[in-house]
Chains A and B, each alone.
Chain A
Amino acid sequence: TQLLEQSPQFLSIQEGENLTVYCNSSSVFSSLQWYRQEPGEGPVLLVTVVTGGEVKKLKRLTFQFGDARKDSSLHITAAQPGDTGLYLCAGVSNSGYALNFGKGTSLLVTP
């Protein structure tokens, strides 16, 4: 199993602050996905990054895939209370079949 470590595990910030969440592994992945999960709901896919060094932007969210395809980061600019949730990264193995999830970063943004 290819393990993914997410940090920090918990993050509580004020509205308007910036933050970065990390997803690291010793294994290489063919692609990596980021999900957000709200209480009582299933995870919702935010983005898939495929190419090493790739950067994708989704409004105030910026996702980056490491050059070696072993790690990824999610940066949120000017966080809002609506960003509150559990952020999960999931790595797709080179076989294309296995999808390994990290434990997630629980984000709380207070007004």
Chain B
Amino acid sequence: EPEVTQTPSHQVTQMGQEVILRCVPISNHLYFYWYRQILGQKVEFLVSFYNNEISEKSEIFDDQFSVERPDGSNFTLKIRSTKLEDSAMYFCASSEPGTSGKTDTQYFGPGTRLTVL
């Protein structure tokens, strides 16, 4: 069964460093998302992406964050200058367009644990 994959599974970085989290969405999906979950807290929406542009972003997704689909298979989240509070699990999700008035379903990857020291 197709699934969303994410690399790395765990990333440790120093405060102020740039990190890139990578995702490979399900191959025929066209909509892509990033969510994050700080330890012990709720899963929070960061950004959605379609047709090579951001569809929607949350207040969390400030200028330090960017997303890109560099090729036909990868979807990346970049944090330019990491802060301690960026430590969290980051989940990528993808969905395909719903057909005949039916809704799409978002499928989530296993996540990348980001630890900022």
Do chains A and B stick together as partners? no
Query: Which residues does B use to contact A, with CB under 8 Å?
Result: none
Query: Which residues does A use to contact B, with CB under 8 Å?
Result: none
